[in-house]
Chain A
Amino acid sequence: MRATVLVRPKEGILDPQGQAVEQSLRKLGFDVAHARVGRVVDVEVDASSTDEARQRVDEMCRQLLANPLIESYEVEVHE
């Protein structure tokens, strides 16, 4: 089963990368605000149900893929 993990800087955590991207987008003439930069991790996981896959990927996030002090994450499991 394929799963996608979205890791983001937590709300309220300074994201200088997001700020730099936002400033650059403004220089290009785009009217944007609150740009945040995170990362995407795609994994194939061996699981018999989406619930099981979600649980397993959640555990991966807590142990490695995200640092809970500064990052939040979302898991999307593809059927």
Chain B
Amino acid sequence: MNPRVAVIQFPGSNDDRDALWALKALGAEATLVWHAESELPARTGAVVLPGGFSYGDYLRCGAIARFAPVMDAVTRFAAEGGFVLGICNGFQILCEAGLLPGVLRPNASLSFICRDVALRVERSDTPFTSRCEPGQRLVIPIKHHDGAWFAPSELHAELESRGKILLRYEDNPNGAVGAVAAVTNEAGNVMGLMPHPEHAVDPLLGSGDGALILASLLDGVRERSASVALA
């Protein structure tokens, strides 16, 4: 059975259809789920919070979206071990919702940055990077104004020592603490990243490296549903 992935659509999301397309191209049964829904579709194996400007990014990026009705369902899903991937605005939402550590601040340059960046894979023993090699170099585009990940130094040091940083920028484009591009939660089933893997799934568009992230996630869903079925 193909992994079912729910792509959440907030008012102001704008990468929802790209994420849907990329996931389908990689073999997922992907569906859009409106923010006002109170439940995720049956058999949902993973949730993707896409990029965009949810609720106009009022107050702070992601600060309002965490109150969307569907976020209660996403929080329950994550608490039960379900895989949740937040891309760009999705990463900001997960941080504001307390599902991921830290916060995304305006880029140090105050410029909107839209270009391919090189990333280093810090770990490959995770559901989001299993198709990569540790130390592998990925090229995936970023496009954001508020993408500088920040955590106070003690929290950052703790996350580093516990291996919670999964991707790092080669040349820190936005001033993120520790050049962090992707971080995972304590349980390892939630990840947020600023680069857009859904925009890099075909070499024809510059890079296919983003497919490694999304395909890792789909592998993770398949493995998890197989182990749940055995249990």
What per-residue 1/0 map shows which CB atoms of B82-100 lie under 8 Å from chain A? 0000000000000010000
Residues from chain B with Cβ under 8 Å of A69 in the complex: 102-103, 150-152
Residues from chain A with Cβ under 8 Å of B175 in the complex: 14
B17 → chain A closest CB, angstroms:
30
B59 → chain A closest CB, angstroms:
7
A67 to B92, CA, bound (A): 12
A59 → chain B closest CB, angstroms:
15
Partner of A16, one of B63, B108, B150, B152: B108
Residues from chain B with Cβ under 8 Å of A16 in the complex: 106-110
Question: CB of B76 within 8 A of chain A?
Answer: no
Question: CB of B115 within 8 A of chain A?
Answer: no
Residues from chain B with Cβ under 8 Å of A55 in the complex: none
Residues from chain B with Cβ under 8 Å of A64 in the complex: 59, 63
Residues from chain A with Cβ under 8 Å of B110 in the complex: 16-17, 19-20
Main secondary structure of the interface of A (DSSP, over half): helix
Q: How many residues of B contact A (CB 8 A)?
A: 16
In this complex, the interface size class of chain A, counting residues with CB under 8 Å from chain B, is 10 to 19
The residue on B at minimum CB distance from A66 is: B60
The residue on A at minimum CB distance from B110 is: A16
Residues from chain A with Cβ under 8 Å of B102 in the complex: 69
What per-residue 1/0 map shows which CB atoms of A62-76 lie under 8 Å from chain B? 001101011000000
Question: CB of B222 within 8 A of chain A?
Answer: no
The residue on B at minimum CB distance from A65 is: B59
Partner of B150, one of A17, A65, A70: A70
A78 to B95, CA, bound (A): 33
A17 to B110, CA, bound (A): 7
19 A-B contacts (beta carbon < 8 Å): A14-B105, A14-B108, A14-B175, A16-B106, A16-B107, A16-B109, A16-B110, A17-B106, A20-B110, A64-B59, A65-B59, A67-B60, A67-B96, A67-B103, A69-B150, A69-B151, A69-B152, A70-B105, A70-B150
Closest 5 CB pairs of A and B: A16-B110, A69-B103, A67-B103, A16-B106, A20-B110
Known: A17-B106, A65-B59. 14 other contacts (CB 8 A): A13-B105, A14-B105, A14-B175, A16-B110, A19-B110, A64-B59, A64-B63, A67-B60, A67-B63, A67-B96, A67-B103, A69-B103, A70-B105, A70-B150
